[in-house]
Chains A and B, each alone.
Chain A
Amino acid sequence: MESHSLLLTIVTFLPLLGVLALLCLRGQDHTWIRRIALAASLAEFVISLFLLRGFDLSSANYQFQESHPWIGQAIHYHIGIDGISLFLVLLTTFLTPLAILASWRSIHDRVKGFFISLLVLEMGLIGVFVSLDLFLFFVFWEVMLIPMYFIIGIWGHERRIYAAVKFILYTMLGSILMLLAILWLYNAAGTFDLASIERMLQSGSLVFSRSTEMWLFLAFFFAFAIKVPLFPFHTWLPDAHTDAPTAGSVILAGVMLKLGTYGMLRFCLPLFPDAAHRAAPVVGVLAIIGIVYGALVATVQRDLKRLVAYTSVSHLGFVVLGIFAFDPTAIQGAIYQMLNHGVSTGALFLGVGMLYDRRHTHEIKEFGGLASPMPVLMSLFLFICLSSLALPPLNGFIGEFLILIGTFHHHHQWASWAASGAVLSAIYLLWAYQRVALGEVTVEKNRKLPDASRRERTILITMAAVIIFMGVASPLFTRRMAVSVDNTLQQMTRVQSASREGRARLAAQAKARNPAQPPSRGGFSAVAERLVRP
């Protein structure tokens, strides 16, 4: 294992090396800045593929672990991956070079700053996925906001400043509550180490009362729900997406939204299983509302990019639903759907960005009949739409199907409501495609638009190839997730039973000490409990 021991650190911090190289260049040297950024991100992708080789599918433990003391005794630099985070890391390293390639021509202003921001962002995202120390996790979680803030605010479109501020304030509000919950966990457990806290919870040496557990769950969940975004916390998303530059949207939709669902899977479920079960009915309903509402709102958008943004609300609703079904198949589907959404929606944004590069607008009515001047670009775009609306046998289908089967086992109604989202997605995407690409050319300017350049073709064909691959070769992915997903669910059961025993023990002790008093419950926690009780 020694040979692997540094691999994850290298994968995490390699983008910084690229940043250093970029800092050495002069600001006007645009070509070289682009080349070096691309080279750094490609190298990063290739190196991250080694993670696949060394990954042991049968192990439920975290792999490629590294742990060094950082601040005092309590805070460690502890990283590692399991079947849940493995592919999310790969998704990040895969999308970043494409995002860089997509910004090749569209970014002219302050080029150096842009690519530095992208690489720092990549480092932050990977850092979040690999952190196994709550403090480290929080550092990466917050640090990655800043490059995104700059990407939206400097290189975005018309309402970029509004979008950037809304994005960052929303996220900070969520994360500050999570910080308090992390501190609370630390004061209770005496460590920030995720694995140790998990062990303590399973062995029953760390027990939270029902209301404390619910509070902690809610603090974490709120931060993640904003990030996902789960209805009704989604309002920052359309603005941020619409006004971000293409690369920003790709990373935002492709990877950043997954941080929320990843966080639920990594923290909310295994650490607070009881609260998660109690909250599940509410979360499920919110997820279904998100699926249907996102789809309906997407249907009526006049702005193509905003439309794609709303599809994220809908698709991520599926993921949350899958996670909170507490079923191995559904959770596998949810993770798979995270990857699919990253690829498909990333590709959709890339396509929309290519249209924007040509016409500098996202208005659907400005397009129309684009298939005749740009046959290649539009047929690839159609292919991506089909993937996004979950056409079998493309990737989107597998994810949604697994989620629906898994959910159906436990909640028939949820599954049937959610299935309507699949139908709606066909409506909004195909209708949008029809208005953009089919029929006569409606706007005179569009007649002379150039078809996809070689660079654009490379991007879209890569995407299409991955879409097909993920559609037909899904077992290659799910096999690697299975053990970790099962482990998470088993861990939930163990923590639940341990905390049930622990609470009974504490109650018995309290009774022995003070037999007359009924168990008291604070006013606020009583309200919170009532809110989430089925």
Chain B
Amino acid sequence: MISSFAEQVTNLQRLAPELVLCFFGILIMVVDPFVGAARKKSMGWLGLVGSVVALVSIRCAGVNPGAAYSDLMRVDRFSVFVHYIVVGAAILAILGSLNYLEDEGIQRGEFYALILFATAGMGIMAGANELITAFVGLEMSSIATYVLVGFRRRALKSNEASLKYFLLGSFATAFFLYGIAMVYGATGSTKMDAVQAVLRGAGSSVPAIAMLGLALIFVGLGFKVVIAPFQIYGPDVYEGAPTPVTALLASAPKAATFALMLRIFYVAFGSAGHLWFWAIWISAVLTMFIGNLAALAQTNVKRMLAYSSIAHAGYILVAFAASTDLGIAAVLFYLAAYVLMKVGAFLVVTHLGQQGEKRLELQDYAGMSTKQPVLSACFSLFLLSLLGLPATAGFLGKFFAFQSALDVRNPWIVWLVVIAAINSVIGAYYYLRVIIAMYFWAPAQDYAPTAVAPALTTALVIASAGTLYLGLLPGRILTLAKAAADSLALR
């Protein structure tokens, strides 16, 4: 098949964000050896420039929606929305890493290159219209993050986390790949539309092999978004990883993987919704309860936030289970809100951990509000948003998720929402506990506050402004999310 020059240009344009990310990633790798050890931080700035350019190029790709590379990739409003989330999270993570790496003495160029490659992989996942392409994206992001998790080479926990993540993650991707094979066997294609057409034609008698394939895909992707019963590794990895990496890990891959799950479940397997509904339902209930109840027992703030991100994946599944256009819009809105508040929270933890990530326990936060009032207020905002307090992004995320679910009028979904509501009250306790420590406890004596670096300040300002913006004036983002959901449904 010979494609015209114009077609090639269009292909490149539609793949622009990934190309930009990879270009800057490679650029960093090439330039890095020529930069002296003292000036490695400049690689971080280069990475930042790369990701900002990528953010701009999303728009460039978005103005010309359509298929790219013989329909392996799709640029639609849905993929554009997810791209913004993913690249935005990467920018925040890079801003948070600049000084962190400096303090830890592990300032290296490849760190930023890996973040860019991982982000490119996630971008591919968000736009993939074909399962093998999705697999390539998944692997790209996974392998880069395996390395990032172990980036504090001299820290035992970081190594442990990396190894755990790598071994279990490889298993999960293998499951995913095996699932793709099954789906191909059953339907004769790996393209979403083709699978959709075959399954629609089959009507209610969906081939068992295809469903088995979907189950395996669910295992593989469920592992990546850390939902029960595949969540065991999550807190260990999140706790061991360098905190800015945790911020990235807890946000961007989740968004990208949820996007991929939506495409596979809702588009390709949409006609089998009644069959996968229960998997999602049960997983949602387990995820919420496990995440929240385990978080109650944590004294380490970083680990607590890790469990809380499991719980949030559960709330997202509630909207997922609704499996309507409104539900997809709610998932997307939730993801945007979630990324802002979660990355913000982890970045605060990054700063307060101080060198060597020593100060992560709850008692280390005692009386922080008297010593660092602005940072404490910022952290409280993120925590209250995670809790779901009105006027913050987290509330509206839950609000739309619950609303879309109640809209379905299926009694089981109503129960799911009731369970989610009870869970968000359970969750309130552990978020409030951190606020109690910061505001109500007497200050810890040995605590010497350090100044917040400008880069981190920028990231925190962006995250908290975003959290408030989505909480008070969500109209615009909600419209975009709805349009994105429509673009997914229209196909």
Residues of A near any B CB (own CB < 8 A)? 70-72, 110, 138-143, 146, 149-150, 153-154, 160-161, 164-165, 168-169, 172-173, 176-177, 179-180, 183-184, 186-187, 522
**Residues in B neighbouring A141, C-beta threshold 8 A:** 390
The interface residues of chain A lying within 8 Å CB-to-CB of B479 are 72
Is there an interface contact between A177 and B421, defined as CB atoms closer than 8 Å?
yes
Stretch at the interface among B195-203, B247-255, B424-432: B424-432
In the complex, B182 has a CB within 8 A of chain A: no
Which one of B384, B409, B411, B421 lies within 8 Å of A176 (CB-CB)?
Answer: B421
B53 at interface by CB-CB < 8 Å: no
Contacts of B390 in A (CB 8 A): 138-143
Which residues from A are CB-within-8-Å of B403?
183, 186-187
Cβ B425 vs Cβ A176 within 8 A: yes
A522: nearest chain-B partner, CB-CB? B411
Closest A residue to B423 by beta carbon equals: A176
Bound-complex Cα distance A164 to B432 (A): 10
Rounded to whole Å, the gap between the CB of A197 and the closest CB of chain B is 16
A146 touches B384 (CB 8 A): yes
Chain B residues with CB under 8 Å of A173's CB are 425
- Residue pair B428, A153 in contact (C-beta under 8 Å): no
A110-B370, A172-B425, A176-B422 are known; give 16 further A-B pairs, CB within 8 A: A71-B396, A71-B474, A72-B478, A139-B390, A141-B390, A142-B395, A143-B390, A146-B384, A149-B432, A154-B439, A165-B429, A169-B429, A173-B425, A183-B403, A186-B403, A187-B406
Q: Which one of A140, A169, A180 contacts B417 once the chains associate, using CB atoms below 8 Å?
A: A180
Within 8 A of A (CB), among B388-446: 389-391, 395-396, 399, 402-403, 406-407, 409, 411, 417-418, 421-422, 424-425, 428-429, 432, 436, 439-440
**Cβ-closest chain B residue relative to A155:** B440
A176 to B475, CA, bound (A): 23
Chain B residue nearest in CB terms to A140: B390
Question: B432 near A143 (CB under 8 angstroms)?
Answer: no
Supposing A150-B439, A161-B440, A164-B440 touch, asked if A180 and B429 sit within 8 A by C-beta, the answer is no
Query: Interface code B39-67, partner A: CB below 8 Å = 1, 0 otherwise?
Result: 00000000000000000000000000000
Q: Separation in Å of the A234 CB from the closest CB of chain B? A: 19
A153→B367 CA distance, assembly (Å): 12
- Choose from A142, A165, A184, A186 the contact partner of B389 (Cβ within 8 Å): A142
Interface of chain B, main secondary structure: helix
Bound complex: CA A72 to CA B439 (Å):
36
Decide: A143 and B389 in contact? CB cutoff 8 A: yes
Chain B: minimal CB distance from A111 (Å): 13
Tell me the bound Cα distance from A143 to B440 in angstroms.
19
CB proximity of B371 to chain A, nearest CB, Å = 12
Known: A139-B391, A143-B391, A183-B403. A153 touches B425 (CB 8 A): no
CA distance A352 to B421 in the complex (A): 39
Given A146-B389, A176-B422, A180-B417, A153 and B436 contact (CB-CB distance below 8 Å): yes
Q: Which chain B residue shows the least CB distance to A73? A: B475
Chain B nearest CB: distance from A522 CB in Å? Answer: 8
**Alpha-carbon separation in the docked complex, A238 to B8 (Å):** 73
B478: chain A residues within 8 A (beta carbon): 71-72
Closest residue of chain A to B440 (Cβ to Cβ) is A153
Q: Residues of A contacting B474 with CB < 8 Å? A: 71
B111 to chain A, nearest CB (A): 38
Q: Assess whether A72 is in contact with B475, with CB atoms less than 8 Å apart.
A: yes
- The 5 lowest CB-CB distance pairs between A and B, nearest first, are A139-B390, A142-B390, A153-B440, A176-B421, A183-B403
| Separation of A146 and B409 alpha carbons in the complex (Å) | 33
Chain B's closest residue to A152 (CB) is B440
Q: Given the complex of chains A and B, what is the CA–CA distance between A168 and B439 in angstroms?
A: 15
Chain B nearest CB: distance from A116 CB in Å?
11
Query: Which B230-263 residues sit within 8 Å CB-CB of chain A?
Result: none
- Smallest CB–CB gap between B473 and chain A, Å? 8
In the assembled complex, which residues on chain A have CB atoms less than 8 Å from the CB atom of B411? Answer: 522
Given B422, B424, B436, B473, which contacts A165 in the complex, CB threshold below 8 Å? B436
**Do A180 and B406 contact each other (CB < 8 Å), given the known contacts A142-B389, A165-B429?**
yes
**Distance A168 CA – B432 CA, assembled complex (angstroms):** 9
> Of A72, A154, A179, which one neighbours B440 at CB under 8 angstroms?
A154
- A165 nearest CB neighbor, chain B only: B432
Report which of A110, A139, A179 forms a contact with B421, defined as CB distance below 8 A: A179
Q: How far is the CB of B194 from chain A (nearest CB, A)?
A: 36
Q: Which of B390, B409, B417, B425 has the most CB of A within 10 A?
A: B390
**How distant is the Cα of A141 from the Cα of B418 in the complex, in angstroms?**
20
Contacts of B406 in A (CB 8 A): 180, 183-184, 187
Query: How far is the CB of A523 from the nearest CB of chain B, in Å?
Result: 11
The distance from the CB of A527 to the nearest CB of chain B, in whole angstroms, is: 15
Shortest A77–chain B CB gap in Å is 11
A180 touches which one: B402, B432, B436, B440 (CB < 8 A)?
B402
B433 CB to closest chain A CB (Å) equals 8
17 CB-based A-B contacts, threshold 8 Å: A71-B475, A72-B478, A110-B370, A142-B395, A146-B389, A154-B440, A161-B436, A164-B436, A169-B428, A169-B429, A179-B402, A183-B402, A183-B406, A184-B406, A186-B403, A187-B407, A522-B411
